[in-house]
Structures are given as C-alpha cells and as structure tokens.
Chains A and B, each alone.
Chain A
C-alpha cells in the first residue's frame, strides 16, 4: 500500500459569521488510507471537510484563508486556483453527508445523477457505470431487481450505501465522509465500515467520526481536532 501524501493543507483559517471555526490548520493526509478526523462536536471537523471540496463557498457569510493542495491526476493542484473549476474538483473529491440524502428519484437515477451532470447521454455507458458503482458500494445484489423504485424506499443503511455509490460513480480520487454512520444501526454501520476498508486501495478516504471504536476498527491514521485546530496528527 503506497502512503504518498495526497492532501496538503497549510495555514488554513476559516470563519463563519465573524466566528473563528478553524485556526491556522496545517496538516497532510496520506493517499490510499483511511484517516479519521476526531474531536468533540463543534470543533470544525465538518467545516474542514467542506474546505477540501470548496463546498463552504455555498454557505453565506463564510470566509477562508490558507492553501489546500490535493494530488489530482498525479500532480498537486491548488484547489482554489482559478485554473481548476469547482465542479471539476467536486467530481474528483466526492462527499457523503451525515444523514443519507438520496434525491427524490429512482435508485438508478440517483446513482446516474453525477453522470447526467457531466452531460453523459450514452445509456449503455451510464448503465454500466451505475452497475459498477453499486457493486463497489456492495448494494448491487440488493437492488438489481428494483432499480426504478424510489430511492427513498430503501432502508437507512441502504440509502447511505446508495449515496456512497453515487459519490463513487465518477471514480473520484478522494472520498470525504461526514459521520456517515451516525444515523445507522450497528449492522448497517458494520456493512459500511467493511465497504470503506475495501475502497481504500482505490482512493483516499477522510472520515469524520465520533465513535472511538469505529476509529480503531477502520482508521489507518487519526487526526484530532480541538477548538478549531489540530491537536494531534500522525507524521506523513
């Protein structure tokens, strides 16, 4: 397993409505590994994730300073540089939220949605990609006969795996997960943890988690946040 640096963050400061959320954060993340971001609620872990795909820019009254570089297509790119469009970035740095958020459409359309956004029209290609993503998310066998059903009819754990499949369909290089199992039962959590361990050979995973047992089970590295800054991180 290679452990090259995948993400470099330097002097990151973030404020929301004049309140400092992140202060002078400097950290690196290894590629092809699961890094858990831990710390108590409100210390800036989720906000930190949103600085890695620029999603915070869709939140009003927020400000950010600092540099974030991610190795994309084999070279480090400043993700805030004008030559990298935010939509392209988000296709390579995918995100899964805390609460499963399938769009109110069929299972197939949910997973195919990012492809539609990219302008992909070839039905055969889209179908193959959807199947591949669902297989990667360990969901294919459960939904192959009901792809046209409303995605909201799936169980909570299945919905979250569907969201992971949807994030994987464009084959991102980085997967950001914001407490993806916090609303799920033990069995669903175990399925997703197994899925993430299986995915780390293909991509870099950053996961916000509040559960020490989960961190021990799945994380290769742990970065701990407190009061908007990092208090402990492994050397990369």
Chain B
C-alpha cells in the first residue's frame, strides 16, 4: 500500500515538475512576445537604411540591429568552427582510446572546465588579448577572434561530453559489427560509430550554438561593443545581440528603448531557432550522406 502511494506520488511529482517547467517556458516566451512583438519590424533591424542595400553592404546601418545580428552570427559560426573539431576529437579520444587512468584525469579536468564561470573565461580572453597586444602586435586587442576562442572554451565541455556519451552508448553488437568484418579501429569509428552517434553529437553542438549565441559575460570583456557597425574582419570589434540586450536594458533612456531590448530578444531567439534548424538539417543530411547515399 505504502509502495503504491509512493509510486503515485512519484508520477504526480514528475507530472507537476514537467508542467511547471512548461508553464515557466510558456510564460517567459509569452511575456517576451507580448512585450516585444510591436517593436519587431524592419526599422528595428535596419534603422533608416534600405533593407536590401544594407544586406548587400551598400548602405551602413546606424540605428538598427543588423550589425548586431551579423556580429552574433559571425561569432557563433567562428566559435563552433573552433569547438567542433577539438571537442569531437577529444570526445572520440575519451570514448575510444583513453586508458582508464588518463580518462579519469581528463574527466575531472573537463568537469572543472564545464564549471568555470563564463566571466572568468571572459577575463582569460581579455588577458590573452592584452598579452598579444603587448608582445605581438599593437593591432591585436579584444576582437571577434578572441571572443570566439574564449567562447569555444566555454562550450567545449558540451561537445566533448555529448560526443563521448553518444559513442559510449552504442550497443556492443553494433560496435563489433564492422570490426568482425575486417574494419580497422579508425574505419569503425569514422564509418560506423560517428555516423551512428550523430544525433547525440548534434545535440551537444546545438547546445553549444545556443550558449555561444546567448553568452554576454565572455563577449563584453573580449570584443563586443555597443556601436561599431559590421565587423570588418576577425580582428575588429563587433556588435552582438546579447550585449545589445544587456546594454539597452541597463542604460535605457525611455520605455521605447526598453521595448527595443525586448524586440532584440525576440530576434535573438529567432536567430537561435534558425541556427538549430540548420544544425538539425545538417545532421539529417550527414546521416543520409554517410549511410544511404546509393
């Protein structure tokens, strides 16, 4: 009888927790959309510039979010470009090659890395930029490149852990199939294990994309500024949506400006949704390419 009550309570609690979470997310998104939907328009993105001319880089956008959108996109792509190969390679090493002792040490190391507050990583990125500025070139300072490197450190644990978990979760039979057919260990990893675990690895990459797109602490110390226009190169400062949201919500002069912050939040969410969809599409495409191409 007691067990039955406990079982019912567990189910009830699980349902309640799920509903609570769903309500919180709905409330958050609803609040954001109710507050911000009116300010989301072409003027918010392009200011007084003609949208097409701005997109073709024929006209500069002074009071719109276009430079921040481009800055955020560049930042996310660059960070992911650093983080994916390093993160996946490390995950593969941990799952397939590492001896138990090395694995224990590295596991602890990456747990620590995952626990480092983003502001500390931002500070490290800033110090790195200062170091390069002092010792190598006056032209190097906080910039898009430094931000992306610092952000890639921040998201590496997600990609490492999901790659490792996805590979380790492959059933023994599948793991041995290709080996029994004469595959080398490397062939087994690249032809069977990685394609088989792409869904898991991609979930880590999607998490990493989300984190890169939303993190403010790292970029405010390593290169993001309130107004500079489109980034001219990886060595230039840049605008970014999360920094804009932070800046506008802490410095707004009137309610209309705050509304722009809500609008920017909606655009950031839409941008993340687009990036997630692209990542999902790439995963499907890669799986098809690896397994079903005739």
Min Cβ gap B108→A in Å is: 21
Instruction: Report A-chain residues with C-beta under 8 Å of the C-beta of B292.
Output: 105-106, 109, 148, 150
Whether the Cβ atoms of B181 and A167 lie closer than 8 Å is yes
| Residue of B177, B183, B196 touching A97 (CB-CB under 8 A) | B177
Instruction: Report B-chain residues with C-beta under 8 Å of the C-beta of A231.
Output: none
Whether the Cβ atoms of B178 and A170 lie closer than 8 Å is no
Interface of B toward A, CB cutoff 8 Å: 173-184, 187, 191-192, 195-196, 290-292, 294
Whose C-beta in chain B lies nearest to the C-beta of A118?
B182
Would A53 and B196 be within 8 Å (CB), given that A101-B173, A106-B294, A109-B291 are in contact? no
A150–B182 alpha-carbon span in the complex (Å) = 22
Select the residue from A116, A117, A150, A166 with max chain B CB neighbours within 10 A: A117
| Residue of B175, B181, B195 touching A94 (CB-CB under 8 A) | B181
| Residue of B175, B187, B291 touching A117 (CB-CB under 8 A) | B187
Q: Does A156 contact B (CB under 8 A)?
A: no
Residues from 56 to 89 in A contacting B, C-beta threshold 8 Å = 58, 87-88
Min Cβ gap B173→A in Å is: 5
Whether the Cβ atoms of A114 and B181 lie closer than 8 Å is yes
Whether the Cβ atoms of B181 and A166 lie closer than 8 Å is yes
Would A104 and B196 be within 8 Å (CB), given that A97-B173, A148-B294 are in contact? yes
A113–B192 alpha-carbon span in the complex (Å) = 10
Q: Does A216 contact B (CB under 8 A)?
A: no
Min Cβ gap A57→B in Å is: 9
| Residue of A55, A148, A166 touching B179 (CB-CB under 8 A) | A55
A170–B179 alpha-carbon span in the complex (Å) = 14
Nearest 8 A/B pairs, CB to CB: A105-B291, A91-B182, A90-B182, A95-B180, A114-B181, A87-B182, A101-B173, A117-B183
Would A58 and B176 be within 8 Å (CB), given that A87-B184, A109-B291, A113-B181 are in contact? yes
Question: How many pairs, one residue from A and one from B, have CB atoms within 8 Å of each other in the complex?
Answer: 66
Whether the Cβ atoms of B291 and A103 lie closer than 8 Å is yes
Instruction: Report B-chain residues with C-beta under 8 Å of the C-beta of A116.
Output: 191
Whether the Cβ atoms of B179 and A90 lie closer than 8 Å is yes
Whose C-beta in chain B lies nearest to the C-beta of A163?
B177
| Residue of B173, B187, B291 touching A104 (CB-CB under 8 A) | B291
Would A103 and B192 be within 8 Å (CB), given that A108-B294, A109-B292, A148-B294 are in contact? yes
Q: Does A99 contact B (CB under 8 A)?
A: yes
A88–B179 alpha-carbon span in the complex (Å) = 11
Instruction: Report A-chain residues with C-beta under 8 Å of the C-beta of B187.
Output: 117
Instruction: Report A-chain residues with C-beta under 8 Å of the C-beta of B183.
Output: 87, 117
- Chain A 188-206: CB-based contact to B (< 8 A → 1; otherwise 0): 0000000000000000000
Instruction: Report B-chain residues with C-beta under 8 Å of the C-beta of A167.
Output: 181
Min Cβ gap B277→A in Å is: 23
Residues from 83 to 137 in A contacting B, C-beta threshold 8 Å = 87-88, 90-91, 94-95, 97, 99, 101, 103-106, 108-109, 113-114, 116-118
A170–B178 alpha-carbon span in the complex (Å) = 13
Whether the Cβ atoms of B182 and A103 lie closer than 8 Å is no
A88-B182, A97-B177, A148-B294 given; name 13 further pairs at CB < 8 Å.
Answer: A53-B180, A55-B179, A90-B180, A91-B181, A95-B180, A103-B177, A103-B192, A104-B291, A105-B292, A113-B181, A166-B181, A167-B181, A170-B181
Whether the Cβ atoms of B174 and A90 lie closer than 8 Å is no
Would A103 and B294 be within 8 Å (CB), given that A87-B182, A118-B182 are in contact? no
Min Cβ gap B74→A in Å is: 35
Instruction: Report A-chain residues with C-beta under 8 Å of the C-beta of B173.
Output: 97, 99, 101
A113–B178 alpha-carbon span in the complex (Å) = 8
Would A94 and B180 be within 8 Å (CB), given that A99-B173, A106-B292 are in contact? yes
A95–B179 alpha-carbon span in the complex (Å) = 10
Min Cβ gap B136→A in Å is: 45
Whose C-beta in chain B lies nearest to the C-beta of A149?
B292
Min Cβ gap A108→B in Å is: 7
8 A-B contact pairs sorted by A residue (CB < 8 Å): A87-B183, A90-B179, A90-B181, A103-B291, A105-B290, A105-B291, A109-B291, A167-B181
Residues from 146 to 168 in A contacting B, C-beta threshold 8 Å = 148, 150, 166-167
| Residue of B177, B182, B191, B195 touching A101 (CB-CB under 8 A) | B177
